[in-house]
């Protein structure tokens, strides 16, 4: 049996409950993993509220790290006793142990702890595909990154600095702006005090940025388009402030033949070999010291409701983990 967080209806943090569930043995292509830590991400909120629909009852959580207890037939990249981590479908990381598909689970290097791994898999792999698998970004290009002091944002600031990319961040307080600057942002705009699109134009000599990476959604979408240079790329990869309203595609032509995409991590990591290569790139960045994982909040499984409330109130910086 394993203590497991589930919801039986969509809604607020109060819908989450902890129950005991049988774990079982892995079948072909599966592993059984005992978790030490799980990560907390906005996708967990989207699934809890039903913005991203799933069948009920639903076990929440998309990333974790722990010890492999057993492997099923056909699993060759993991063995019992391996330290491992993942960001993967289906949901279910908020638990003591689970049986799950093995293809997107990665063996951890000795130099990366389980808490660090649980804090970085989903966010770090997201940054990897944003900078390397979505649109060509070269040294010297300029990127606008919203929520630059969040978990994904602080990794992105460091990633950009390590590759000679100018990153202009946005955040909601001066303290958060300073945090982004400390982690490698070239500039950071307090969007509560300034019109970020106008400031971006000022910072770029009126040209605009090459790429916008926007996980905020509704509140920043129009300003993000207005921050792009002609032929620029808008990457909308989240909905923290709510989903983006329907778009008249003709606006992209009017604003300079802009491009737009709405990617998800799980499309990029669906292939086992691609997923492993992306993870190895992330591990290399962390082990070399190019990227340090900032764990700013820690909760226990019993505090899962408070963890969600804190995240939704935008009171977090860096990454948040759940001790199992």
Query: Is residue 186 domain-shared with residue 251, that is, in the same domain?
Result: yes
Cis peptide upstream of residue 57 (ω within 30 degrees of 0): yes
How many Å apart are CA 196 and CA 271, to the nearest integer?
Answer: 37
* Three-class DSSP category at 211: strand
Indicate whether 231 belongs to any domain: yes
Domain that holds residue 314: 2-123+272-323
CATH of the domain at 196: 3.40.50.720
Number of domains the chain is built from: 2
Burial of 61 (0-12, 13-18, 19+ CB in 10 A): buried
How many Å apart are CA 42 and CA 45, to the nearest integer?
Answer: 5
CATH of the domain at 285: 3.90.180.10
Cα separation values, 313 from 151, 240, 254, 310, Å? 15, 10, 36, 5
Residue that finishes a domain, picked among 262, 283, 301? 262
The pLDDT value recorded for residue 17 is: 97
Indicate whether 129 belongs to any domain: no
Identify the DSSP state of 255.
T
Predicted TM-score (pTM) of the model is 0.93
Cβ distance 296 to 40 under 8 Å? no
Handedness of CA 282, 265, 274, 261 (dihedral sign): negative
Task: Chunk the chain into consecutive blocks of 10 residues (it has 324) and report each block's average pLDDT, rounded to whole numbers.
Answer: 97 97 97 98 94 94 98 98 97 98 97 96 97 98 96 96 98 96 98 97 98 95 98 94 91 97 96 97 97 95 97 89 97
Half-sphere exposure of 237 (CA within 13 A, CB side): 28
Query: Is residue 279 domain-shared with residue 222, that is, in the same domain?
Result: no
**Cβ contacts of residue 16 below 8 Å, gap of 6+?**
5, 6, 7, 48, 60, 304, 305, 308
- CA quadruple 109, 114, 116, 122: dihedral, nearest 10: 90
How many Å apart are CA 249 and CA 239, to the nearest integer?
Answer: 19
> Facing residues of 107 across strands?
84
Query: Is residue 284 domain-shared with residue 167, that is, in the same domain?
Result: no
Indicate whether 294 belongs to any domain: yes
Query: Is residue 233 domain-shared with residue 163, that is, in the same domain?
Result: yes
Both tokens assigned to 252: 């992209």
Query: Is residue 278 domain-shared with residue 258, that is, in the same domain?
Result: no
How many Å apart are CA 46 and CA 196, to the nearest integer?
Answer: 26
Indicate whether 128 belongs to any domain: no
Cβ distance 38 to 28 under 8 Å? no
Query: Is residue 142 domain-shared with residue 49, that is, in the same domain?
Result: no
Indicate whether 167 belongs to any domain: yes
């Amino acid at each position: 049996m394993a203590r497991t967080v589930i919801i039986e209806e969509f809604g607020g943090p109060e819908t989450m409950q902890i129950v005991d569930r049988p774990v079982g043995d892995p079948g072909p292509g599966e592993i059984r993993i005992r978790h030490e830590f799980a990560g907390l991400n906005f996708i967990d909120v989207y699934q809890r509220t039903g913005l991203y629909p799933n069948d009920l009852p639903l076990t929440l959580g998309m990333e974790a790290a722990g010890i492999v207890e057993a492997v099923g037939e056909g699993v060759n990249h993991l063995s019992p006793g391996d330290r491992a981590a993942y960001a993967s479908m289906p949901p279910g990381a908020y638990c003591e142990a689970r049986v799950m598909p093995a293809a997107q689970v990665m063996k951890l290097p000795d130099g990366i702890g389980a808490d660090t791994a649980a804090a970085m898999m989903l966010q770090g792999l997201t940054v990897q595909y944003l900078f390397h698998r979505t649109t060509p970004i070269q040294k010297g290009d300029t990127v606008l990154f919203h929520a630059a002091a969040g978990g994904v944002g602080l990794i992105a600031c460091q990633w950009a600095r390590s590759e000679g990319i100018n990153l202009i961040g946005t955040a909601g307080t001066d303290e958060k702006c300073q945090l982004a600057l400390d982690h490698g942002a070239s500039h950071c705009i307090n969007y509560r005090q300034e019109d970020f699109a106008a400031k971006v134009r000022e910072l770029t000599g009126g040209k605009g940025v090459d790429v916008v990476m926007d996980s905020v959604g509704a509140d920043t979408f129009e300003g993000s388009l207005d921050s792009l240079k002609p032929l620029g790329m808008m990457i909308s990869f989240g909905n923290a402030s709510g989903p983006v309203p329907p778009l008249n595609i003709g606006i992209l032509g009017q604003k300079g033949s802009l491009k737009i995409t709405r990617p998800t991590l799980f499309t990029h990591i669906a292939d086992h070999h691609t997923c492993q290569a992306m993870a190895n790139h992330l591990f290399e960045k962390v082990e070399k010291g190019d990227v340090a994982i900032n764990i700013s909040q820690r909760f226990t499984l019993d505090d899962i409701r408070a963890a969600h409330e804190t995240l939704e109130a935008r009171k977090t910086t860096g990454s948040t983990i759940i001790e199992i």
